Amino acid sequence: MYNKQVAQVIKQLNGDINDGLTAAEAAERLRQNGANALISKAAISPFKRFVNQFQDFMIWILIAAAIFSFFTHEVADGFIILAIVLLNGILGFVQENNAEKSMQALKNMQVPAAQVLREGRVQQVLSPEIVIGDIVLLNAGDVVPADGRLIEAAALRIEESQLTGESLPVDKHANVIQSEQLPLGDRRNMAYSTSRVAAGRAKMIVTATGMQTEIGKIAGMLDDQSDEKTALQIKLAELGKLLGIAAVVICLLIFVIGYLQGRDPYQMVLLAISLAVAAIPEGLPAIVTIVLAIGVQRMIKAHAIVRKLPAVETLGSASVICSDKTGTLTQNKMTVVELLSDTAKKTADLNSLTAHDRLLLKTAVYCNDGSVELVDGKIKQIGDPTETALLALALQYDITQQSLAGVRIAEVPFDSERKLMTTIIKQDGLTAYVKGAPDQLLARCTSYYQDGATLPLDDAKRQQITAAIAEKSARALRVLGYAIRRFDALPAKIDSASVENDLLFIGLTAMIDPPRPEVKAAIKDAHLAGVRTVMVTGDYKDTAVAIAQQLGIIGKGQQALSGIELDALTDEQFSKLADTVTVYARVNPSHKVRIDVSKEASDIILTDDNFTTIVAAIKEGRIIYDNIKKSINFLLSSNIGEIITLLLAIVLNLPAPLLAIHILWINLVTDSFPALALGVEQGEADIMRRKPRNPAQSILGDGLMRDIFWQGLLIAGLSLTAFWLGLRIDLMTAQTMTFLTLSFAQLVHSYNVRSRRQSLFKTGIFSNMRLNQGVIISLAAMLVVYLVPALRVIFKLKWLMLNELLITFTLSLLPFVAVEIYKAIWRQIKT
């Protein structure tokens, strides 16, 4: 609509510029096009969301194991497995439900009402009821309720950073723009939903509502992304299938060997099913969900809302951060950083003002439509950020419109063609104060102010000022010029031709939307973690590059691309350049999708728009993935220890070293608490000095499967040693020693897996108190069946002699010794 005349747009939309739509017309259009609101895909019912928690192969295997337990009359074991499955589902359901509510609150970013011309009079109309063809009136401070083509505009400036990333309000007009393809930020005769009117007033005709608006298209792009599984979901599903196949093979193997050896078939079936349960870490789904939920809670405190749990883990493998500039890398708050009055000076170095400085700030205050006030020691800014930045600086030196006491009696409003604004103030005579684009202002100046005197503006001085303007602009500073003109009497006609000439040049100010102070360190942390930072902004290329250089985003061999340059590239050309581009400037929301902003990002919303939150989220994702691997390491090495212990004993035609009830008790009770506690480790010191992991890598990759196997083999060897020594006395003593050795060894081993490479003495035994508590609970659960006589009978255990207990405890400690030696050798090799 921006390239059509106003009359054409009104005709095309069947609007009425004088009277607006009738109530009947508005009602019919509302019926046809729907409410002016952002909507999501059809909401998932609570029941369906709950059922979705069980759409996982590992969950199905566990349910099957529970059913087998019921068939073999092990009802208690079946109920325990089902309880764990149910807990996993409830946790996932509650977290996703709460996060969805938070997300919905963010999506409802619609203004409650707007001024609309209908049936010949201006009415307050609720935003959802605004329709295409409505005539909307806009004033300073309003939020634009829908997309529209401007019909009239007076000194209109609109802040569109939410859509374009451009930090400054942009000048708007109602003139036609003769261009077929313009970036969003250059469509100066359009106003877009959720943008804010910074200054001026306007009238527009609504061209799009709801999901057809530009902000609606962004919401639609997020909703249209397919529900792909994250890397963690895929890997856990693969692991579940692998363990399920292993369980079936082990069951068959144990049963066939036992049957051929003439053992009791029922006992063999019971033992085989118990081993199947041992082969599958049934607590893992619940542990993963709880670990993710705890990570989500930590991220909420860091100002991030997570819609879906696995999205947190996905961030841990991120190798590129595509970040907006405005408000994320910068403060989204214009700040005056330099003055050029009698001399050039930085505002940060100002201790006091010269008379020239005061005149410059006086001009900036008088020629200003913004306002600031001090609230609880903080400056509250209302209006155009550029103007309020000037007022905020002046306020620091007690220069305000109230203290100056002048009266504005006339003005020449700002417009985008001449790029100047003038106010005429009555105070000891009449003075015109002019502010605006320095090149435009300087062309209208004939003299300059210096040391209290008025001097002619010759070519040499003009070139000196022009060079200063160019130097500051090259550093992406927004430069404004200031001038005054004194009158003996008010001109007959108040316009630019009568007022804005023969000016006295006062000076310049330079301002910028400064980087957040914490961002540079965060970018460095990301770099050390092997994560490349890319700036994506709607701002101009020079400004974006200047900020990128300050923050360390762009360096040698790296480049910047504008949205137009990006559009000109084919996908093949773009893929070749992508690794060298660290700044994308003047881009539209659709460009941000093309440069592969992570689809999972739609599942994580930053409530503070802070880049450091992104880096913190990546760190949290790495910690979560690391912790899940620790839990897997502990559970699988423990389970492999049990499997090898039983399998070798049966292959060697020895009595079963463990009974089915022993295996189930160890797996369902003793192992669970340490495995969960490992999932809440705070993260190792080098977590953000590692390279991003390959998302395609197996969760058991990077040598983890090797570690799991040899550690499981070690635990099995120690358990069989205990069994062999106990057999010298009797079978019940041997099984009791095996049960205690295996249980104690696994609890000791939980401390080994806290770090795959770092010694426990350096990690600190008290640095994870939850693990200590979990080990104590598991130890109590294991000892209670040994110490309580009635339970000892049920579990078919025997009271051991002191020397037998000493052997058991000694064997249980050996995994710690062996793993510490292994870690020391690994560290020595790496150094």
DSSP code string of 58-98: HHHHHHHHHHHHHHTT-HHHHHHHHHHHHHHHHHHHHHHHH
Give the start-end residues of each E strand in 307-440. Answer: 320-324, 335-340, 344-346, 371-375, 378-382, 407-412, 420-426, 430-436
Nearest in space to 284 (alpha carbons), one of 743, 700, 818: 700
Question: What pLDDT shows up at residue 523?
Answer: 94
Whose CA is closest to 437, among 463, 407, 466? Answer: 466
Examine the fold and report which residue of 189, 216, 243 is the final residue of a domain before the chain moves on.
216
Query: Over the range 737-762, which residues count as b (16 or more CB within 10 Å of their CB) and which as e?
Result: bbbbbbbbbbbbbbbbbbbbeeebee
Residues 350, 421 within the same domain: yes
Residues 625, 552, single domain; the answer is no
Buried residues in 44-68 as b, exposed as e (16+ CB within 10 A): eeeeebbeebbebbbbebbeebbeb
Residue 773 lies in a domain: yes
Q: Is residue 563 part of a domain?
A: yes
Q: How far apart are the first and last CA of the chain?
A: 66
- 284 and 343 in a single domain? The answer is no
The model's pLDDT over 641-671, given as tens digits with 9 standing for 90+, comes to 988 898 888 888 888 898 877 887 787 667 7
Work out the mean pLDDT of the chain and round it to a whole number: 84
What integer pLDDT is reported at residue 514 of this predicted model?
Answer: 84
| Residue 73 belongs to some domain of the structure | no
The rounded distance, in Å, linking the Cα atoms of 702 and 130 is 57
Give buried/exposed letters for 176-212 (b at 16+ CB in 10 A, else e).
Answer: bbeeeeebbbbbbbbbbbbbbbbbbebbbbbbbbbbb
- Number of independent structural domains in the chain: 4
Q: What is the mean pLDDT of residues 825-831?
A: 84
Residue 50 is assigned to a structural domain of this protein = no
Q: Is the pLDDT of residue 700 over 70?
A: yes
What percent of the chain lies above the pLDDT cut of 70?
Answer: 85
Per residue in 619-632, pLDDT (tens digit) is 888 888 899 889 88
pLDDT in tens, 379-388: 777 777 888 8
pLDDT band (50, 70, 90) for residue 606 = low
Helix (H) or strand (E) holding 47: helix 46-52
Count the alpha carbons within 13 Å of 387 in the hemisphere toward its beta carbon: 22
Q: Residue 42's pLDDT is what?
A: 60
Give 399's pLDDT tier (boundaries 50, 70, 90).
Answer: very high
**pLDDT of 744:** 95
Q: Is residue 85 part of a domain?
A: no
The CATH number that applies at residue 487 is 3.40.1110.10
577 inside domain: yes
Does position 509 have pLDDT exceeding 90, yes or no?
yes
Among 597, 620, 638, the domain boundary falls at: 597
Q: Is the pLDDT of residue 732 over 90?
A: yes
Same domain, yes or no, for 209 and 257?
no
pLDDT band at 586 (very low <50, low <70, confident <90, very high): confident
Percent of the chain with pLDDT over 90: 39
Phi-psi region of 36 (alpha: psi -120 to 50; beta: other; left: phi over 0): beta
| pLDDT value of residue 223 | 57
Q: Report the CATH number at residue 526.
A: 3.40.50.1000
Q: pLDDT band at 141, cuts 50/70/90?
A: confident
Q: What is the pLDDT of residues 248-283, one digit of tens each?
A: 787 788 788 888 888 877 667 667 766 776 676 655
- pLDDT above 70: residue 105: no
pLDDT at residue 377 greater than cutoff 50 = yes
pLDDT at 106 over 60: no
Q: Is the pLDDT of residue 537 over 50?
A: yes
d(CA 602, CA 236): 22
Task: Let me know if 525 is a catalytic residue.
Answer: no
In this model, does residue 25 exceed pLDDT 60? yes
Are both 580 and 712 inside the same structural domain? Answer: no
CATH number of the domain bearing residue 726: 1.20.1110.10
| Between 711 and 351, residue with greater pLDDT | 711
What gap in Å lies between CA 105 and CA 728, rounded to an integer? 69
Residue 95 confidence class, pLDDT cut points 50, 70, 90: low
Q: What is the mean pLDDT of residues 691-717?
A: 89
Residues 6+ apart with CB under 8 A from 600: 230, 311, 314, 315
pLDDT at 777 over 50: yes
Which of the listed ranges 43-47, 187-191, 293-297, 555-559 does the model predict with the highest average pLDDT?
A: 187-191
Residue that terminates a domain, selected from 463, 496, 512 = 512
Same domain assignment for residues 670 and 806: yes
> Which residues on adjacent β-strands are paired with residue 484?
433, 504
Give the pLDDT confidence of 456-507 residue by residue, as tens digits: 999 999 999 999 998 988 887 889 999 999 999 999 899 999 999 999 999 9
- Which is the catalytic residue, given 171, 324, 384, 671? 324
Residues found in the chain: 831
Q: Identify the DSSP state of 666.
A: I
User: How far is C-alpha 515 from the chain's CA centre?
Assistant: 18
540 with 673, same domain: the answer is: no
Closest CA to 594 of 664, 536, 662: 536
Q: Is the pLDDT at 224 greater than 70, yes or no?
A: no
740 falls within a domain: yes
What pLDDT is recorded for position 596? 39
Residue whose C-alpha is closest to residue 518's, from 526, 510, 509 = 526
CB 185 within 8 A of CB 166: yes
Domain shared by 726 and 808, yes or no: yes
Regarding whether 529 and 494 lie in a shared domain, the answer is no
501 and 553 co-located in one domain: no
689 has pLDDT over 50? yes
Residues 6 or more apart whose CB falls under 8 angstroms from that of 323 comprise 329, 533, 534, 535, 536, 611, 614
Residues 403 and 282 placed together within one structural domain of the fold: no
Q: What integer pLDDT is reported at residue 714 of this predicted model?
A: 96
Q: Looking at the domain assignment, is residue 522 inside a domain?
A: yes
| Residue 797: domain span | 231-318+612-830
One domain, residues 303 and 359 = no
For residues 525 and 541, give the distance between their C-alpha atoms in angstroms, rounded to a whole number.
25
Residue ranges of the alpha helices (H) in 456-517? 459-474, 496-499
**Among 45-54, 353-362, 408-417, 668-677, where is mean pLDDT lowest?**
668-677
**According to the model, what pLDDT value does residue 167 have?**
61
Please write the tens of the pLDDT for every residue from 635-648: 889 988 988 898 88
Residue 316 three-state SS: coil
